[in-house]
Amino acid sequence: MSEHKAHGGKHHGFAHPASVKSLLLVFFSLIFLTWLTVFQSTLELGSAELVVSLFIATIKATLVILFFMHMLHDKPLNAIVFLSSFIFVALFLGFVLMDAHGYKDSYEFKNVDSAPKIVKTTE
Amino acid sequence: MTSHAHDSHDAGHGHGEHGHNPFLAHHFDDPEQQFDSGKLGIWLFLVTEVLFFSGMFCAYALYRSLHPEVFTFASQYLNETLGAFNTGVLLFSSLSMAWGVRCAQLRQRTGLVICLAITLGCAAMFLGVKAIEYTHKWDLGLLPAGEYISQFLQPAHHAGISPWLYYLSAVPALCVLGFAAWYVVAVTTGQKRTAEVAGPLLVTALCYFLGVFVGIAFQNAEAASKAAEHGVAEHGVAEHGVAEHASVAHDEGHDHAGDERDDVMLVSHSDVPVVPGAPELAAVDQAGGAGVFFSIYYCMTGVHAVHILGGMAVLAWLLVRATKDHFNEEYFGPVDYVGLYWHLVDLIWIYLFPLLYLIK
């Protein structure tokens, strides 16, 4: 804000340029985690597969948010605003899934495009 | 550098206290306040984006919780290699975007132009690969619920380039011609700054075709390895059991496939391994089953692709402003905001990739 800041070159005012090193480190971590998630999909993890892949995706998302989106150096208000959206997403998905199996019947296969033949053959 | 900005812009506002920043709107005290307000605004916009996408994630979660076998079945038609490649491309574009923000903050004009060009190029390459994925699926009848064609009723035709790809590529092809002409004119008439805009845009349009070629190469490699695996030239359709039937029906042509449904059912019935306790494959492999998966797939990836296109539009706008040297350590907000949006688009893909492609 003061005059000398703009012309000094050393000070960047309210700008906090990320270091090239940290950007590259985050990028290669993200590539490694992508490889890891592809690798884990080849393992026979059964029902844990979804949890593991979502866990890896969440680590990647955290890295992107903290470093690429600079949340680490951002104002707390911005972080609260953004992260609060996930509370509402959790509420949304949570409430929908909570009673999903209560109306499972309406989600049975309709055989929309099938000839009656198929239904007969299979049942 | 800054003198150029002074000369070419008769910004009426903010000249009193901060004459060096022509983009300070008069209702803000200082550049920092302007930046913080814009930043809060873009975060709020990202909140609406997250909530908007959560509707589609909700459809996904609901359908997957009710019919996990559909996802296991349908996911085999998605090309994991291309999905992983595209993830890498998007991550790299995020890196160049974040680097671009750094360049803007450090007044590295050329660096910013290069970073924006790389980001745009990666976005176009992503769309090129996506075009290959989409058109291949359209050829195979892997379409949204209403149009879905059962994979065991109708043999997949075709290797080679989809006719749909020509339609999809028409716009990028026109862009290549247009930007190339623009670039040549700019260079020959010595308009350096215009050339700095036209050049990256030309590269971007070309990157779409680079993505297309990468997609074709990966797809051919995959089809070849599959064919070798099964010993039949089966064009990389579903894995099990149908090979013998497919080769028969293929000769008869696709239009008559319906006449043979009984045979197909018998073949698929006996040979195809089914998830224990799950509905029959015939029930899964139909519009009301796998078709709904593809509705969800096209909706999520399609809306994501529209976001990529939107991102490219604002990146092009940033590119123009970057060549005009508008950004510095006090005024880098637009680059930062577009960056945040771009990273969010990347974030969504980070979740889409394992959720759609990596189901086993």
More confident residue, B300 or A102: B300
SS3 B331: strand
Q: Which of B97, B262, B291 sits opposite A121 (nearest CB)?
A: B262
Say whether B31 and A122 touch across the interface (CB within 8 A): no
Q: Is the per-residue pLDDT at A41 higher than 60?
A: yes
Q: What was the pLDDT predicted at B277? A: 55
> Is the CB of B114 inside 8 Å of chain A's CB atoms?
no
Residue B309 — very low, low, confident or very high, per pLDDT cuts 50/70/90? very high
CA distance B289 to A107: 10
Residues B289, A109: C-beta atoms closer than 8 Å: yes
Q: Is the pLDDT of residue B288 over 90?
A: no
Confidence grade of residue A106 (pLDDT, cut at 50, 70, 90)? confident
A107 and B94: CB-CB below 8 Å? no
Report d(CA B78, CA B15) in Å as an integer. Answer: 56
**Mean local confidence (pLDDT), A52-80:** 94
- As a whole number, mean pLDDT of residues B159-167 equals 83
What value does the mean pLDDT take over residues A47-55?
A: 90
Record the tokens describing residue B93, joined without a space: 């574009």
Confirm or reject contact between A1 and chain B (CB < 8 A).
yes
Percent of chain B at pLDDT above 90?
Answer: 58
What the block records as the tokens of B90 is 């998007």
pLDDT at res. B243: 40
Is the pLDDT confidence value at B36 over 90? yes
The answer to whether B50 contacts A89, with C-beta atoms less than 8 Å apart, is yes
Identify the structural domains of chain B with CATH numbers, from first to last. Answer: 27-358 (1.20.120.80)
Nearest-neighbour CA in chain A from B330: distance (Å): 7
Helix axes B192-230 and B292-323, enclosed angle (nearest 10):
150
Question: What is the token pair recorded at A2?
Answer: 């003061």
Enumerate the residues of chain B whose CB falls inside 8 A of the CB of residue A65.
343, 347
Of A101 and B19, the one with more pLDDT: A101
pLDDT tens per residue across span B75-102: 888 999 999 999 999 999 999 999 999 9
For residue B183, count CB atoms less than 10 angstroms from its CB and return exposed for 0-12, middle for 13-18, buried for 19 or more. buried
Could you give the 3-state DSSP secondary structure of residue B328? strand
The Cα angle at residue B100 between residues B94 and B102, in degrees rounded to 5: 110
CA B342, CA B309: separation in Å to the nearest integer? 11
| B50 to A115: CB separation less than 8 angstroms, yes or no | no
Q: Which of B268, B222, B216, B218 is nearest to B246 (CA)?
A: B268
3-state SS, residue B243: helix
Q: Are A27 and B46 in contact (CB under 8 A)?
A: no
What is the per-residue pLDDT for B162? 84
* Cβ within 8 Å, pair B39-A78: yes
Would the CB atoms of A75 and B39 count as touching at under 8 Å? Answer: yes
pLDDT at B278: 56
- Kindly tell me if the per-residue pLDDT of B273 is higher than 70: no
- Chain B CB within 8 Å of residue A83 CB: no
Is it the case that residue A39 has pLDDT exceeding 80? yes
Q: What's the mean per-residue pLDDT of chain B? A: 82
Cα B215 to Cα B83: distance, rounded to the nearest angstrom: 10
Q: Which two tokens stand for residue A120?
A: 């007969």
Q: How confident is the model at residue B69 (pLDDT cuts 50, 70, 90)?
A: confident
Model confidence, pTM: 0.82
What rounded mean pLDDT belongs to chain A?
82
- In tens, the pLDDT along B229-241 reads 776 544 444 444 4
CA–centroid distance for A106 within its chain: 30
Q: What is the three-class DSSP state of B108? A: coil
State residue A1's pLDDT score: 41
Q: How many CB pairs under 8 A join A and B?
A: 201
Query: For A23, which of B39, B99, B329 is closest by C-beta distance?
Result: B99
Phi, psi of A114 (to 5 degrees): -85, 145
| Separation CA B269–CA B267 (nearest Å) | 5
Decide if A16 and B355 are in contact by the 8 Å CB cutoff: no
- pLDDT at site B334: 95
Cβ count near A84 (within 10 Å): 12
- For the segment A47-58, the average pLDDT, to the nearest whole number, is 92
Spatial distance between the Cα atoms of B75 and A63, rounded to a whole number of angstroms: 27
- Residue B76: the pLDDT is 87
- The rounded distance, in Å, linking the Cα atoms of A59 and A31 is 12
- pLDDT classification of B145: cutoffs 50, 70, 90: confident
User: Which of B353, B68, B72 is closest to B239 using CA atoms?
Assistant: B72
Residues in chain B within 8 Å Cβ distance of A26: 95
Judge whether residue B257 has pLDDT over 50: no
Task: Using alpha carbons, list the distances in angstroms from residue B151 to B68, B75, B287.
Answer: 18, 13, 11
ipTM: 0.83
Taking the CB of residue B69, how many other CB atoms lie within 10 A of it? 20
CA-based nearest distance A109→chain B, Å: 5
- Minimum mean pLDDT range among A38-52, B175-189, B309-323: A38-52
Task: Tell me which chain A residue has its CA closest to the CA of residue B268.
Answer: A122
